[in-house]
Amino acid sequence: MDTPQLDAFVAVVEIGSFTRAAARLSLSQPTITTRVKSLEQGLGVTLLERLPSGVRPTPAGRQLLPYAREIISLTGRARQAISSDGQPHGCLDVGTVESLTSYRLLPMVEYLYRRYPKVQVSLHAGAGTDAVAAVRDGRLDCAFIVGSPEEHEGLDTQVLCPEPLVLVGNPGHLLVGRGRVADEDLRSTPIIRADSRAGYQHQFEQAIGLLDGSDRPRVFELDSIDAAKRSVALGIGMAFMPLVSVERELADGTLATIDWAPPFETFTQVVRRRTSSSNAALDALVAAALDVAAEHLDDPLLAAG
């Protein structure tokens, strides 16, 4: 079992085709086929099955996949370490939810790029709770999520900072200014989702009883925090989102809070695989995130929000 064989195997699984995997790796299809067959023969198992709809991993292939990705990643880091000057370096694939990208993670990325010019970061917004699975199987190096702290098998979770959430509507919304709002009032009000896969969104809908009942309000799913805020401002519905993402609109009166307090606490957290090997670039990213979060909490104007 060698890295080129694993590269070929992972490419076929991710694309679902030997031909397209060959194009990705700039190799011929017979070369890809030979490498996968050699890997199967070396392990004594069948890793892929060919179906009319494409190629998919067998149970053994699914078991091998996260290890294959880890071996490929370690090999790349080892090669870079030999030629590096001891500084963190490499490419990181980072999962996040859209509401965190601009308001939490861009300052972190700027901090990282200034201090560690050899580290490259790709942010993948919209993954939400799926990001945890992507980290576990090696598709992402880490993920930033918003929700209540919980244990994830095989993963390390680190809390960066509290993440207050608010329910907002436009100033003329029928629930704005009414005092404490009951859950039943929320169950009949249109909802705008910007982070539809975020853990906190599921917690909110569970808390007000939407997941248990058959009657649900209209739900508008958007893939942009800015679009969600504009929709709320137009009176289309209410939205539950991190306070940090709507501080400006609340200050200028474009949006207003609905008086409902969530029965749970939420935090911005970073999730990474639990492994004995070191990843200096990932360590630097997490340290940068902690520093930026601490600066946010130390700023009295930001912390007041």
For the chain, the C-alpha Rg in angstroms (whole number) is 23
Residue 140 · residue 131 · CB < 8 Å: yes
Decide: helix, strand or coil at residue 161: strand
Which of 91-95, 96-100, 171-175 is predicted with the least confidence, judged by mean pLDDT?
A: 96-100
- State mean pLDDT over 226-238: 93
Q: What is the pLDDT of residue 301?
A: 35
Q: Are 134 and 140 contacting, i.e. CB atoms less than 8 angstroms apart?
A: yes
Q: What is the pLDDT of residue 276?
A: 53
What whole-number distance in Å separates Cα of residue 224 and Cα of residue 220?
A: 12
What is the pLDDT at residue 299?
45
pLDDT tens profile 24-36: 888 888 889 999 9
Reduce the secondary structure of 252-282 to three states and give it as a string: HCCCEECCCCCCCCCEEEEEEECCCCCCHHH
Q: pTM for the complete prediction? A: 0.68
